[in-house]
Amino acid sequence: MILDLLLVLLALPVLLAAGYLLLLTLLSGEKKAPPQVAPRLKFDIIIPAHNEEAGIARTVSNLSRVDYPVELRRIVVVADNCSDATADRAREAGATVLVRHNQELRGKGYALQLAFERSLADGFADAVVVVDADTEVTPNLLHAFALRLEAGAQAVQAHYGVLNPHASWRTRLMAVAMALFHKVRSLGRERLGVSCGLRGNGMCFTHAIIRQVPHEAFSIVEDLEYGIRLGKAGQRVHYAWEAEALGEMVTSEKAARSQRRRWDGGRMAMTRKFGLPLLAEGLRKGDKVLVDLAMDLLVPPLSWVVLGAGAVTVASGALSLWQGHVTLSAYVAAASVLSLVLYVMRGWWVSGMGLSGLSALAWAPFYVAWKVWLMLSRPEEKKGEWVRTTREAPKP
Provide the pLDDT for residue 396.
Answer: 40
pLDDT at 374: 74
Task: Extract long-range pairs of 136-139: CB within 8 Å, 24+ residues apart.
Answer: 136/58, 136/59, 136/62, 136/163, 136/245, 136/246, 137/62, 137/63, 137/66, 137/202, 137/243, 137/244, 137/245, 137/246, 138/243, 138/244, 138/246, 139/65, 139/66, 139/67
Residue 129: HSE in the Cβ half-sphere, 13 Å Cα cutoff = 30
Three-state secondary structure call for residue 289: helix
Alpha-carbon span 10 to 312, nearest angstrom: 8
End-to-end Cα spacing for the chain: 66
- Give the DSSP letter of residue 35: P
d(CA 9, CA 329): 9
Diameter over CA atoms, the chain: 74
- CB-CB neighbours of 365 under 10 Å: 12
pLDDT of residue 284: 96
Amino acid making up residue 287: D
Give the gyration radius of the chain's Cα atoms. Answer: 22
Query: What does each C-alpha distance from 230 to 217, 225, 306 come to in angstroms?
Result: 11, 9, 31
Burial class (CB in 10 A: 0-12, 13-18, 19+), 131: buried
Question: How buried is 169 (Cβ within 10 angstroms: 0-12 exposed, 13-18 middle, 19+ buried)?
Answer: middle
Tell me the mean pLDDT per 10 residues along the chain, length 396.
89 95 95 85 97 96 97 97 96 97 91 97 97 97 97 97 93 94 96 95 98 92 94 96 94 73 82 94 96 95 91 94 92 96 96 93 84 68 55 46
H or E segment and range at residue 136: strand 135-137
Exposed (0-12), middle (13-18) or buried (19+): which is 231, by Cβ within 10 Å? Answer: buried
Q: What is the pLDDT of residue 395?
A: 43
Q: Which residues are within 8 A (CB) of 264 and not within 5 positions of it... i.e. 6 or more apart?
A: 301, 371, 374, 375, 379
CA dihedral over 375, 380, 386, 388, signed as positive or negative = negative
**Cα 178 from chain centroid (whole Å):** 8
The reported pTM is: 0.90
- Taken in order 11, 12, 15, 16, the sign of the CA dihedral is negative
SS3 (DSSP) at 74: strand
Distance CA(324)–CA(314), nearest Å, equals: 15
